[in-house]
Amino acid sequence: MKLPEDVIISREKLLRYLLLPREVNDKSQFLSQAGYSYVNWNQLRSDLYELITKNEIENTTSSPYGTKYTVRGILTGPNGRQLHVVTVWITLKATNKTRFVTLFPGK
């Protein structure tokens, strides 16, 4: 099973969370290895959309807010380097919309 095509990947999630350098749980360094940055944040968004169209849902769990999904895949960054990632998504009970939550390095 795959995620629906109309998932929401907010600009703020990418710019203020994934691509923002942080002291704790920094994902920007990981993503920068493949050339992702503030300058090309839209490429990351596009690549995440592509990832979910090519890969199946690996795991499903319930939470008080909705159903969470994990999808593994490979992001090929602007510099051509590939990153193995695990992405997390949630379909919110309140809206029935599926949103991007986070990603982390995969194996």
Q: pLDDT truncated to tens, each residue of the chain (107 aa)? A: 999 989 999 999 999 999 999 998 899 999 999 999 999 999 999 999 999 999 999 999 999 999 999 999 999 999 999 999 999 999 999 999 999 999 999 98
pLDDT at 88: 98
Nearest partner of 41 among 71, 10, 72, 70, judged by Cα:
10
Q: Which range marks the domain in which residue 59 is found?
A: 11-105
Number of separate domains in the chain = 1
Task: Give pTM, 2 decimals.
Answer: 0.94
User: Does residue 84 lie in a domain region?
Assistant: yes
Residue 4 domain-assigned? no
Nearest partner of 83 among 40, 42, 38, 27, judged by Cα? 27
In a domain, 37, yes or no: yes
The predicted pLDDT at position 89 comes to 98
In a domain, 5, yes or no: no
